Amino acid sequence: MLHQFPFYLLLVLFIMLLIMLAKRIRVAYPIVLVLGGLLLSLIPAIPVVEINPELIFLIFLPPLLYEAAWQTSWKEFWRFRRIISSFAFLIVLLTSLVVAWVASSFIPGFSLALGFLLGGIVSPPDAVSASAIMKSVKVPKALEAIVEGESLLNDASSLIVFRFALIAVETGHFIFRDAAFSFFGVILGGIAMGLAVALVFYLMHRWLPTDVNIDLVFTLLAPYAMYLAAESIHVSGVLAVVSGGLFLSTHQHRIMNSSSRLRVTSVWSALGFVLNGLVFMLIGLALPAISSGLGTVSMKEAIGYGVLITVVLIVGRLLSAYGAIAFTIFISRYITTAGAPRNWKGPFIFGWSGMRGVVSLAAALSIPVMITGTDIPFPQRNLILFITFIVILLTLVVQGLTMPWFIKLLQLEDPDHHPTHEAEHKMLSRKLADQSLEYLRQHYAVELDTQPALQKIAQAWKQKKELSGNEQLNMVCRNVYLEMLDKQRDWLHEWNKDLKTDEEVIRRQLMQLDLEEEKLKLS
């Protein structure tokens, strides 16, 4: 491993170059990285890369999930909780069952149990690719929120399905009632463990004398602590990280100061960027090791099976998207819902966003070579691996490359009529300035008349300009200004409770306040 260290350093550099190329040609970077890794693997001098599934599950998965949860809006997540939950759990289960039937019917040597195992592996879409595409092309905020929210949960449900299917293949027994109880127990236990560990970190952040570096280290430790604690009692580590990450993200303004929030945001942004780049590159590099194990199955046959399963997944997701919207429209007559699209465009884009990714490949790689406790080779392991790779490759390339074209062609309308981020940002800036000036007049009327620096601050708010970093404030004005920044944060969090307010704009305003506070501390 150590002698390959220079290779991995060059690999990171190559990833950065490919990402820059992806930006230049306006293609989502996961697609370019997978294709780049595939081409790189064909060079004879390149070392054969064999992905260790434990490396993915333990080293990569917790921080990637945590970073995604940290960036997710809990308000939007809760607003669309029904459709997110249905796709993350019910649709994953139905997809696994359909794949099980197709695989057992059309792929020689596949039983229902093996088909169910394959279904659990390939059922969860990877939202990194979809999010990368949606951020580069204008889509309704609701659609983006649903895709991101689904991605936080579907990995957990698919891995649970995979776990039960693996047991069924190895033992030859599957009791539905016991599996159903275990399924919900693993889900609820994972959520509970994640929240429990998150509460411990919440109290550590809140009550211990931490500084910026300690706060950052705590956030780096948190996802691993959540994941390992959950897996140690055999519940979902994925859901533990997601639930704990959402909890800490929602309360970050209470447990960290502005310096810590800015440092954590910048470090996690870079860390998530590098980790995502590595895992997609590794997918492409893994082809030689995967294809070499096909044995008696020809490459042409294996590719055909992969194409078949890919078509089943794409068609199944599209039908599920339209079915979910139809059900939402029907049930909205009897209960309050978040609102469903009234045309076919939104469900089509949502259904088309089902690109598969690294979790599927890691799950396939984690299939044991031998059936546990025996010397019997695990049936169809190499073919399952190859089919999984074909599914990932085809969904990323075919759906990933055509999705921006479909989005532009269909010209989706935002049913919530959200203003642009820039317009909402300006509107919130005006509201903050108005309320800040009113607060100053009510509570600091004397200081406002007697302190020239405070008058300049008020004038700057009136003109919607930044306070010059060269202004030297005395202690009175400094304390008043810091108090005003805290008040502005409180107002922003209060306005964020309104479902019509875009949380991304709120976070942008909060970061601007953090920067203002940091500038004041350095002046």
How far is 284 from 11, CA to CA, in rounded Å? 12
In contact, 145 and 77? CB cutoff 8 Å: yes
87-91, 152-156, 189-193, range with greatest mean pLDDT: 189-193
* DSSP H or E stretch at residue 155: helix 141-171
Q: Which pLDDT belongs to residue 2?
A: 57
Mean of per-residue pLDDT scores for the chain: 81
* Structural domain count, the chain: 2
42-46, 187-191, 255-259, 491-495, range with greatest mean pLDDT: 187-191
118: number of Cβ within 10 Å: 32
Domain boundary among 383, 410, 437: 410
In this structure, are 203 and 70 located in the same domain?
A: yes
Q: Per-residue confidence at 80, pLDDT binned at 50, 70, 90?
A: confident
Q: Report helix, strand or coil for 487.
A: helix
Q: Per-residue confidence at 330, pLDDT binned at 50, 70, 90?
A: low
Q: Which pLDDT belongs to residue 193?
A: 96
Q: Is residue 381 part of a domain?
A: yes
pLDDT at 373 over 80: no
Tell me which long-range contacts 64-67 makes (C-beta under 8 A, separation of at least 24). Answer: 64/128, 64/272, 64/275, 64/276, 64/279, 65/152, 65/155, 65/223, 65/238, 65/241, 65/242, 65/245, 66/219, 66/222, 66/223, 66/226, 66/241, 66/244, 66/245, 66/268, 67/268, 67/269, 67/271, 67/272
Domain boundary among 356, 388, 410: 410
How far is 157 from 160, CA to CA, in rounded Å? 5
Cα separation values, 140 from 5, 177, 420, Å: 43, 40, 11
Mean pLDDT of all residues in 48-72: 79
Q: Is residue 416 part of a domain?
A: no
The pLDDT tens digits of the residues spanning 10-37 come to: 888 999 999 899 888 888 788 888 888 8
In this structure, are 205 and 289 located in the same domain?
A: yes
Which residue has 């809140």 as its token pair?
206
In this structure, are 295 and 160 located in the same domain?
A: yes
In this structure, are 375 and 456 located in the same domain?
A: no
Mean pLDDT of all residues in 175-179: 60
Q: Which pLDDT belongs to residue 339?
A: 53
In this structure, are 401 and 425 located in the same domain?
A: no
The pLDDT tens digits of the residues spanning 387-438 come to: 998 999 899 889 888 888 888 888 776 655 555 555 666 677 777 777 877 7
Q: Is residue 118 part of a domain?
A: yes
- 89 DSSP 8-state letter: I
Q: Which pLDDT belongs to residue 470?
A: 41
Mean pLDDT of all residues in 282-307: 82
The pLDDT tens digits of the residues spanning 126-171 come to: 766 677 766 666 777 777 778 878 877 887 788 888 888 888 887 7
In this structure, are 180 and 324 located in the same domain?
A: yes
How far is 159 from 57, CA to CA, in rounded Å? 11
- Here the CATH number for the domain that contains residue 41 is 1.20.1530.20
Q: Is residue 415 part of a domain?
A: no
Q: Which pLDDT belongs to residue 466?
A: 43
Q: Is residue 217 part of a domain?
A: yes
pLDDT at 468 over 50: no
Q: Which pLDDT belongs to residue 202?
A: 95
pLDDT at 445 over 90: no
77-81, 92-96, 513-517, range with greatest mean pLDDT: 92-96
Q: Which pLDDT belongs to residue 54?
A: 72
In this structure, are 325 and 198 located in the same domain?
A: yes
How far is 273 from 381, CA to CA, in rounded Å? 31
Q: Which pLDDT belongs to residue 469?
A: 40
The pLDDT tens digits of the residues spanning 30-45 come to: 888 888 888 888 887 7
pTM above 0.85? no
In this structure, are 320 and 291 located in the same domain?
A: yes
The pLDDT tens digits of the residues spanning 377-387 come to: 888 888 998 99
In this structure, are 121 and 237 located in the same domain?
A: yes
Q: Is residue 44 part of a domain?
A: yes
Which residue range(s) make up the domain with 9?
2-410
In this structure, are 93 and 205 located in the same domain?
A: yes
In this structure, are 400 and 492 located in the same domain?
A: no
In this structure, are 301 and 439 located in the same domain?
A: no
Domain boundary among 375, 410, 445: 410
pLDDT at 281 over 70: yes
As given in the structure block, the two tokens for residue 44 are 């004879």
